[in-house]
Amino acid sequence: RAYKQRLKEELNRYHRYRQVFSMLLFDIDHFKRVNDEYGHRAGDRCLKEVIKRIQPILRDTDFLARYGGEEFVIILEYPDMGEAVACAERIKALTSSLNFPGLPDDFRITISMGVTRYLPGESIDALISRADAALYRAKSSGKNKIVVEEPPHRKTGVHRIS
């Protein structure tokens, strides 16, 4: 509920002040393997550790929520796409360097991420759909990737960042 409420607030803020926001949608790659090989408790600890470590690198005005399963969404206030991509790159680098208590020292995870920003006049569903499509392209292009999807009216193409 907090995620849906925050999206409504961001949309209202845009309509009132014209303050654009971005969305980062990410998924932990091969997460089923974690649960299958190490158990669901280890998987839960892994998810909690990822969130615990990501939260401090976000600004107080940013919002992080679990989207479902091993998917997470981050809403960034005010950023241009360069700032949103820089945040995505920091998160991607951080997660690949994490150690997880109770798992082998060489155990590592990677994430795939879709990045986009709100397009004035569009629906929240369209924004989520664009972020989800970018995430899907990141996963289908080999995982451990960031795909940036510009809103259609300013589209310069989809940019892949490894």
Query: How many Å apart are CA 16 and CA 4, to the nearest integer?
Result: 18
Buried b (16+ CB within 10 A) or exposed e, 76-97: bbebebeebbebbeebbeebee
Q: What phi and psi values does residue 112 have, to the nearest 5 degrees?
A: -115, 145
Rounded to 5°, the CA angle 33-92-45 comes to: 45
Q: What single-letter DSSP state applies at residue 99?
A: -
Q: Are 60 and 9 in contact (CB under 8 A)?
A: no
Can 122 be counted among the known catalytic residues? Answer: no
Question: What does each C-alpha distance from 47 to 77, 129, 136, 149, 162 come to in angstroms?
Answer: 24, 24, 20, 26, 22
Catalytic choice (10, 70, 149, 150): 70
Which are the catalytic amino acids? 70
